[in-house]
Each structure stands twice: as structure tokens, then as C-alpha cells.
Structure 1
Amino acid sequence: MIEIDVAPGQGTNEPLRLLASLEQASHHVLADSIVRIARHGNLLLSQPCDVREHRGEGLEGQVDGISVVAGSRPLVLGSGPLPNWAESGESRYRDTQVLRVFLAIDGRLAAVFTFGDAIREDAPGTVEALRSAGVTRIVMLTGDDGAAAEKVSASLDLDAVFADATPADKVGTVEAEKAAAPTMMVGDGINDAPALAAATVGIAMGARGGTASSEAADVVVLTDRLEPVAEALRIARRTRGIALQSIVVGLGLSGAAMIAAAMGHITPVAGALLQEGIDVAVIVNALRALGDGRLEHDRNGRRS
């Protein structure tokens, strides 16, 4: 958070406490940050009730019997003018890439919160890990404007950036990418749900609980970190490799045994026992998928 503008005679703690209390019921990715800021300031949060979320605009509800509305200026103020105390902040941030959250308490604007865009701390490492895993094309799909998207993506090794994307635009982009190669989509918002369902593999960041994106995805990451995405790809590829290895080796050994039996080199009883041995060997090899595989990966890396 960059700054809090509050109404005259109003402190910053109570508006922040009410906002964070209300945001506990939100699925927006910013909600976690707001709650963490309030708790870091040792503010005692309350459980909101009668919460109504307006998609892409904000939410409203009751906190300790107080009517609270938080979100965009149109949601909170409608077509009404800004009070004098809020005009300076609006002018100061008019041409900057920030997110402004307006807060009304009992129908009156009480505070305006200004948040700056920032990438997840583990995003650069995750992109690098995906590149190392063989992912050849990584793009960013966002509903933010182009300037904000370019600012966030400047420190990431991306192949393309698609900004101002609506849910339909995201689906169209995913379909176009999928036509060229199998496509994995990672998203954390309600607007990402259609694109997650359209992708070859959809991965939802589900730390905030069971949202529409989690229901539409094939994989749900239950932590607020991106690193598990690269880890999931590594596990999936290793598991697929072990499965293919078991199939090829099992069929090869069984075929060789059948040819030997047809030529009279193996008796029926010996052939049955040999087949059982081949089955057991294939099953044991498949059980390797239960392991982490890191030691094996490290050994292969040292050999290469």
C-alpha cells in the first residue's frame, strides 16, 4: 500500500480495520494483502456479514453493525463528486499506474486507499524454472491496462503481454495458443475461470478457497505461491516418463518371452512365472513415481 487519504477528523486505523474486515469475505487477490497490512498493524478484525460482492467493482456489507462499501469510485460514489479532502489524492495519482480503493462508512466516503502494482516475489524464479523445464512460450494475460502490464512484466522473461483482456479475450488467446501447442493457463480470479476451462491444463491459485476459477481448473494450488506450478510440471513430466518407460519395458520383455516360448525355449510353467516376474518388475518401476525424484534429477544433472 502506498497511501491512505482519510476524511477530516478521521484516523487511519479504523477505516483500515473496517476495510480489512470486509475484505476477509472477498476472493479478490488484493484482499489478502489488505488483511495482512491490517494484522501487521495489530488491528482487531471483525467478521463481516450480509456481504455482497460486485464483480470487478468491489463489495459491501456490515461490519460491527456498520454499513461498509469498498471498491471503485463508481460503486462507492456513483456519479457524485469527490469531497474536497479527496481531490488532491485523485489529482496526484491521475496519471500513475496505481489501484485506488474507495471506502464509504454508513453512506459517507471515509477514506481512499492507494495500492501499487507489484509482481509476486517468486514470479521471476518460477518463470526461470518453467524455461528450464522446457516451456518455450510464456505470455501474460491481464485485465489491467497496457502501461500497468508492461510495468509488471518488465522484470519477467515473457514472450508476449496481452493487456485490457476481458474474460472472452482470455479465452480467445488461450484457444489460439492451444492451436499451436498444448497450453497451460494459471489464474487466480473469477474472470480467469473460462480461460482455465479452455486450456489444455488449467491451474488455479486457490489459496482464497473454492472460487469459480478453482472449480474450472484441472489443478488447484492451495498456497499463495507460484513455485508449486513449476513443481507440478516437473512431477507430471517425471510421472509420464515413468509410465511410458514401464509400458515400453513391460511390452518388450513380454514380447521377447512370448517369442522364446513359441520357439520352445521356455516351458509353459516357466513362461507363466516369467510373466509374473515381468509384471512385478513393471509395478516396482511404476512405484518410483511416488518418490520426489529430486535425487535422481540431481544425479542426472551431474552426469550431464
Structure 2
Amino acid sequence: LASALVAAASARGLDLELPTDVSEVHGYGLEGRVGDHTVRIGKARWIIGDGDPGWLEQVRRRAALDGCLSVFVSVDDRPAGAFLLEDPVRADAPRMVSALREAGIHRTVLLTGDRADIAEAVGRIVGVDAVLADRDPADKLAAVRQESAAARTIMVGDGVNDAPALAAAGVGVALAARGATASSEAADVVLTVDRVDAIADAILIARRSRRIALEAVLVGMGLSLVAMVAAAVGLLPPAAGAVLQEGIDVLAIGIALRALVRGRLHTVPMSADDIATAARLREGHEVAIAAVEQIRAVADALHSQDCRLEPVHALIDRLALELVPHERADEEELMPLVARALGAPATATMRRTHAEIEHQVSRLRRLVEGIDPARVTPEDVVELRRLLYGLYAVCRLHNSQEEEGAFALVPPAPTSVRRVRR
């Protein structure tokens, strides 16, 4: 959780300062000093007390609807706000499930300790066959054993809670880039890259290596057997047989060395120029996401009484400066990149949403220009909210499409460490 907060602050360009005198209040949260202020972070009742400010119910409702974890903050014993921590679906997860099916995996099951409603939503997005939610480590172990009784199983995990299930599966695969040491020690295969779709590559590599090894063994032993029979009946002199055996060994080694040649993989190869272009556009993508979240915040703040349009005007200006140019840049540079990697049909839906986003921003501008700031009616507020929430939904969907269909193709860049001020 701390790394998520630090990453979010770094993305916004905030100056970070190391806290001092940090202590844990068991069952409630953490307390420490940041500069000259006492900061607490933890449960709502510890931070807010017995009062129920109006924003508390809004935070809880949004956390429940979005499947987020809410963490409340106070500064100098005064409630300051809350963090909503979301665990999004990995962008490469849907492609991984699809690739596993192509590789011959007939059934995929999502095992998680999350709530059933959150797990079901994730299962629908990634396309698994079954979802088992609210599972503790013992439940995961029992589920793996049950599946193993019907067929050979592969268990993929990255946490300490996954270690028993990884050890019990036919093949345990640990994601070591973010995972715990316990899961890596219990697994049979450890993926050191932060990409779950590498599992499909691992399956293809293993199958190809096994096939080449069998070919080398069968060819080598088969030819050696033929030479032995020929020598036994007197058709092959000893000297010639020795030379021939050396040739058979070299042939078998040559067949085995084919395993070093790159074979067919699920991962789409990309040129260095395409990777650099995608990385540059990804930075603009992160900026656009911040603008998209402002759409929802502005819509939530609209009231039918004494409605002010200044935040809406500021939002429209930001969308025109950040979101619309970003979508046009994606259309001109990202779409050809995706077409080269996956084919032109893969860009159809993303191209359509580019046009829809720009159209909805234009509609929003025309609506606001037609409203008298001094006489904003409840009907105007309803129409503004309708357009804002609609634009927000389209942008969120489009961001997910770009994450899964474009940026998930790019190899992960080395993680940089941001220095903090002491």
C-alpha cells in the first residue's frame, strides 16, 4: 500500500518527505510526524471519531462500488481525507488467458481471497471459466487438489498465501517480479519478468524444447541401432562404424541445438523504435488518466442549487489541452504501431472511441456555452451530469482498451527509484 501511495505522489510531481517517529497502533493504523505535523493513517473510526461528516458516506459508497480499499488520513488530529486504493486488473491478463487457451489449456479458474462481487467482475474481464472467491490458503490448496484430480494443473501465484497451492499443483509458477520469496521457493517455475502473459511463452518454450529433445534422442538412438545391426551382420567395419557413430552424435547434437533458436512465442516482437514510441505515448496516457478522473470529480460536485460553472469551464480547457491532443496522437502514432503488431482489425474499436471522445468533449463545450452562468437550472445540471458521466465511462473503457490492446504489448521498462527529501 505504501508503494502505491508513493508512486501516485511521484506521478503528480509532489515533493516527498520521509516521516519520523512512526509507530503502529495495532488494529487501527500508523501514526508519525511529517515535518511539523502529526499524521495518522488508518481506519475511519480512529481517524474521524464518532462524528459522521457528509463526505464519509460518499467515500464508503464509492469504495464499495469500485471495489476499493479506503484508508483515512488526519493531520494534527483533524480529518483530512481518504485514499481509495484500487487493485486494477493487469492489462496483460486477458491476453494471457486467451494465449493459454491457444496453447491447449482447457480450463482456467480464478482463486482469490477478494469478495465474490469483485472477483466475479475480474473473472468476466479476463475470461476465466470459473471464479472461487473468499478463499484462504487452505481453501486454495483444496481447490488445487480438486482440480488436480481431474487433470494436470498449473497454479500461478505471487503471494505468501499462494505458496501451499503452488507446491501442490502439477506445476507451480511464481511471479517473482512483485511476488514474495515464499511463493518463489514453493514454485517449480519462476518468472522474473513482470508480465503474466509470459506464462504462455513458457508453455510454448517447454513444449518445443521437449519435442526437440525427443527428436534428438530418437534420431540418435535410431541411427545408432541401425549401425549396430549393420555391424553385427558384417556390413559395417569397426573403423567405419566408429566414424559413423561420431557423425550420428554430431547430428543428434545439431538437432538438440535447435532449441536455442527462437521459436514461435505468444509475445509479439516489437522494434526498438516502436517500443520508444509506445513509451512516449504512455507518458501522455498517464496525464490523460488524471484528466479523466477530474471529469468524475467535477460531475460529483455539481449541485442543482447555486451551481457554479467555473469548474466545468476549467475541465473543458484541460480536456482540450491534454485529453483531445493525446487521443489524436494515439490515432496518428499508436494505432499504426498496434496494426503492425496485431493487424489492422485490432485497432477498429480504439479508433472508434477516439472519435467518440472528441465528439463528447465538443458536445460538452457546446452545452456549457449555451447555459447562462447566472441562471443555471436543475435541468441544466442534469444534462451536464449526463454528459460528464457518459464521457467518463467512455474514457475509462477506452483507457482499458489501450492498456490491454496496445501498452500491454510493450516490454516493461526498468523500475526507477525516486529520491525523497529527508
Q: TM-score, normalised by structure 2?
A: 0.54
Q: CA separation in 1, counterparts of 2:91 and 2:138?
A: 29
Q: CA separation in 1, counterparts of 2:174 and 2:41?
A: 25
Calculate the aligned-residue CA RMSD, in Å.
3.4
Residue of structure 1 in register with 2:173 after alignment:
203
Q: Which amino acid aligns with 1:43?
A: L
Conserved 8 A contact 1:48-1:61: no
Gaps of 5+ in 1: 1-21, 25-30, 296-304
- In the TM superposition, residue 294 of structure 1 has moved relative to its aligned partner by 3.0
Q: CA separation in 1, counterparts of 2:264 and 2:146?
A: 34
For residue 294 of structure 1, give the secondary structure of its aligned residue in structure 2. coil
- In the TM superposition, residue 189 of structure 1 has moved relative to its aligned partner by 2.0
**1:262/1:209 CA distance change after superposition, 3 Å:** same
For residue 107 of structure 2, give the secondary structure of its aligned residue in structure 1. coil
Q: CA separation in 2, counterparts of 1:185 and 1:233?
A: 13
- Greater shift in the superposed pair: 62-71 or 98-107: 62-71
Equivalence map 1:51-200=2 (5 Å): 60=30, 73=43, 77=46, 81=50, 83-84=52-53, 87-93=56-62, 95-104=64-73, 108=77, 110-116=80-86, 118-200=88-170
- Greater shift in the superposed pair: 216-225 or 57-66: 57-66
For residue 154 of structure 1, give the secondary structure of its aligned residue in structure 2. helix
Conserved 8 A contact 2:220-2:248: yes
Residue of structure 2 in register with 1:40 after alignment:
11
For residue 65 of structure 2, give the secondary structure of its aligned residue in structure 1. coil
Residue of structure 2 in register with 1:23 after alignment:
2
The answer to which structure has the higher strand fraction is 1
Q: CA separation in 2, counterparts of 1:235 and 1:53?
A: 47
**1:186/1:52 CA distance change after superposition, 3 Å:** farther
For residue 195 of structure 1, give the secondary structure of its aligned residue in structure 2. helix
Q: CA separation in 2, counterparts of 1:249 and 1:63?
A: 71
Residue of structure 2 in register with 1:236 after alignment:
206
**1:94/1:157 CA distance change after superposition, 3 Å:** closer
For residue 220 of structure 1, give the secondary structure of its aligned residue in structure 2. strand
Conserved 8 A contact 2:160-2:180: no
- In the TM superposition, residue 173 of structure 1 has moved relative to its aligned partner by 0.8
Q: CA separation in 2, counterparts of 1:101 and 1:112?
A: 7
Q: CA separation in 1, counterparts of 2:167 and 2:21?
A: 30
Conserved 8 A contact 2:22-2:33: no
Q: CA separation in 1, counterparts of 2:179 and 2:97?
A: 25
Conserved 8 A contact 1:104-1:111: yes
Gaps of 5+ in 2: 266-422
For residue 185 of structure 1, give the secondary structure of its aligned residue in structure 2. strand
Q: TM-score, normalised by structure 1?
A: 0.73
Residue by residue, what CA displacement relative to the aligned partner does 1:247-278 show, whole Å, maximum 9, x if unpaired?
Answer: 11111111111111111111111112211111
Q: Percent identity?
A: 48
Q: Which amino acid aligns with 1:40?
A: A
Residue of structure 1 in register with 2:390 after alignment:
none
- In the TM superposition, residue 210 of structure 1 has moved relative to its aligned partner by 4.8
For residue 281 of structure 1, give the secondary structure of its aligned residue in structure 2. helix
State the structure with more CA Rg.
Answer: 2
- In the TM superposition, residue 82 of structure 1 has moved relative to its aligned partner by 6.1
- Greater shift in the superposed pair: 120-129 or 58-67: 58-67
1:222 corresponds to 2:192? yes
Residue of structure 2 in register with 1:273 after alignment:
243
Q: Which amino acid aligns with 1:219?
A: V
Residue by residue, what CA displacement relative to the aligned partner does 1:188-222 show, whole Å, maximum 9, x if unpaired?
Answer: 22221221122122122222365322232222223
- In the TM superposition, residue 77 of structure 1 has moved relative to its aligned partner by 3.3
For residue 140 of structure 1, give the secondary structure of its aligned residue in structure 2. strand
Q: CA separation in 2, counterparts of 1:46 and 1:224?
A: 28
Q: CA separation in 2, counterparts of 1:49 and 1:239?
A: 54
Residue of structure 2 in register with 1:5 after alignment:
none
Residue of structure 2 in register with 1:257 after alignment:
227
Q: CA separation in 1, counterparts of 2:105 and 2:182?
A: 27
Q: Which amino acid aligns with 1:89?
A: Q
Conserved 8 A contact 1:97-1:117: no
For residue 125 of structure 2, give the secondary structure of its aligned residue in structure 1. coil
- In the TM superposition, residue 100 of structure 1 has moved relative to its aligned partner by 2.2
- In the TM superposition, residue 96 of structure 1 has moved relative to its aligned partner by 2.2
Conserved 8 A contact 1:51-1:59: no
**1:169/1:107 CA distance change after superposition, 3 Å:** farther
Q: Which amino acid aligns with 1:202?
A: G
